[in-house]
Every structure is written in structure tokens, then in C-alpha cells.
Structure 1
Amino acid sequence: MRSAVVAESFDGVRWTARLPRAEQTVGALRRAVAEQWGWPLARARLVVAGDALDNDDARLADVLPDAEPDEAVVRCWLAPIRSPAGALPAPGGERGPSLAADAARDLIAWARTVPVRAWAGTLAWCASAHVAGRLGFGNPYMLFSAFVLVFLNLGQRRAGELSAYNVFNPQFQELLGQLRAEHLEADLIDPHRLARR
């Protein structure tokens, strides 16, 4: 009989449940999972290899496969809240409250990485785009903004930095039909060289 069971939540978080031998039942595992992740016990669901574990009195040794440890991973998810007929479900009810908080925290962390100058420039551009649209110059403003954006991002290439040409020709091989200064110089020195080729 297993001494530990790996439980995986719907968002990919894994946790190893260690249950006493006397309490190795589906119900005990469901209670442990609900307590670990702060889920309501009535909504906690367990699934193994596509089969729902509904019988709380069933022993884990009978329902978990013994072959591979990965096959014994118990997938855990929250059942949706059953709302009265005609009522709309609560937003985010199926995913749990922690995911909404995590998403908001990630969004705030990303927003803090963008410099204040970039935020100010974006807000100024949006305001001027709105004004240009009201005055009937929305399309030219967008076109002009695209050109300005392209030209602002054209920088001077530093020594050793790859250009667009070098990216597609990393060995710097001469391409067929490429005009080089050496060819022009040779043609000026010996104008009949082209005829002999």
C-alpha cells in the first residue's frame, strides 16, 4: 500500500499527501486536499486516469494503479457552484478565488517593469489619437505614428552587432550578383575583363 499520494491541482500545482495507513481512503485524501488548498470540501473532486473518485469509503490501494508513479497522480479540481435556475454563475467560480488574485498580482508586477516614461508616452499618444480622430485626421495620424515609430527605432549599429543582412548570411559569403568595390575597381583597371568571362 502506498505511503504517499501525489495530488495535482487544476493549475498544475503538485502536493504529496502523506496519510496514515488507517486513513488511506478516498474521503481522507479529499479532505486533505481540500484543507491543503483551502477548497470547500463539498466542491473538491478527485480524478485518476479519467475516472472520478466518488466513493469516499473506497481504499486508495483499490483505486490507484500500482504500475507507474506518474499514473498514480490524482488530479484535483473544484466542481462549479450550482446556481439556481436562470441565475448567472459567479465569474471565476470554477477556478477558485486564488487564481484571480494571482493574475492581478502578475499584472501589477508586469506593469511595474514598464518605465513611467513609456506609460506617459502611451497615454499622451492615446489622447492625441482621440483628438485627431475627433478632428477627422485619425487615419493620417495613425500612418504618421507608424512612420515615427519605425524611424525612432532605427538606431546606429555598433561594431560587432549583427545587421539584418548578417542574420541571414552569418558566414558573410559573397552572394551571386552582389556588387562589390573590388569588382568595380577591377572593371575600371581592365575594362575588357567582362568580355573574357
Structure 2
Amino acid sequence: MSSRQSGKEPKATDGEMVTITLKPIGPSRPRRLQLCSPIEVHDLRDLVAAELQLPVEHLKLVLHGKVLSIPNGNDAVISLHEGDTLIIAVAPSRPPKHIRDPYGDEDDDLKFHIPETASRVTQKVFFFLRDKVRIPDVILMAIFTISLKMWAIIIMWFILAPIAYEWHIGPLYILGTGFCIILFNLGQRRQGDLSAYSIFNDGFRELPGTLNADRLDRDIRAGQF
């Protein structure tokens, strides 16, 4: 099956078209893939994943005994020749935490890792901040997990804070911020679900097993204490 049959075209470059053999580790049969050489490792991984229908984040490519990797998010380019064989391996997922070594993975769990499916620009920024600037993992996690919309709100909050201070409404600004955080983080119940607070339920209906003063009074009067 070629890359045209898989629905994904090789990226156009100034190189030549070559046909390589994809040899997955396991019972799968080898396949042939036509692509343009030279090619970036990032694009090669995407082509192979689409051709073999494998998860790209767990994909390992081996060419001439060497694992093809993307060093520090750079656009690594390789040259392939007609008839080259590319060995494909799928790295197994990490075992659940309850069966891991409780001591071996402790340090690794505390480190922030960016997904391999992230864009190359994001990977470059991440590796630059981690390796060159040496920003702590906690700050990296905040940078790469908070959305741009949330960052815009945070920056706007800090811009408006001095204005609120100059107008002597700093306490109101803080209180308003707290109320906004509460209101915008309220969940929505599905039809038929009951709230843990009976005041929000129709007819002030309580959850089964709720312990309150009325329940205690009924139990005492019924002689259950």
C-alpha cells in the first residue's frame, strides 16, 4: 500500500521519490511506502503512522540500526534510498501506577513531559525553556497547560489591578474576582441529577443518607438512639 492509498501525501521537497519497505515488529506483513527523500523525521513519523494505522506518540523508527528521533524539537532531516528497510516498533504504554515500582518512577512522575504530538514550534519552545533557560517543571506545566484565552484573562487582570488600586476599589476588585471564579466554574447537572445542597433541588429534596437536624430529631423520637 502506498502513501497515496492511505490518504496522506508526502510533503513536496526538492528531492526524489523513493520506495522503502516498512517492516513492523510482530505478525504484521511488510509494506512498501513511496515518499520523497530527503524528508524530515517528524513528517516520516506521520506518514508511517497513517500508513500502518499506529499511534504516532508511541512509534519508534529504526533505520540502519539507529533509532530516528527528533533532537530537542529540531527539524531532523534524513535521506532515504530506494529499497531501504525501516523497522517499525510500537513502544508499550506505561503500566498503571498501582503495579509500577513505587521507587523507580517517583522522580519521573514529577517531571513535565510535552506530548510528542505537539507542534514543532511548541516543542522548540519547550526544549529551549527547559534545557537553555532551565525553567522549573512546575512553571513549564503552567505555561503549556493553560490555554491562551486563560493567559489573556490573567494578563488583563494584572493590568486592571493597578487601576483598581488607584480608584481605591482594590477590595471590591478582589471580591469580584473571587465571585467570578466561583460562577464560571460552576458545573451543570444533567436532567434528573440531584445537588448535594437541597436548596438547589425541586421541593428541597435531599440526597439519600443526608444527615441533618431533622433526621436526628426523627431518629431520637423514634427511639433509635
TM-score between the two structures when normalised by the length of structure 1: 0.31
Greater C-alpha radius of gyration:
1
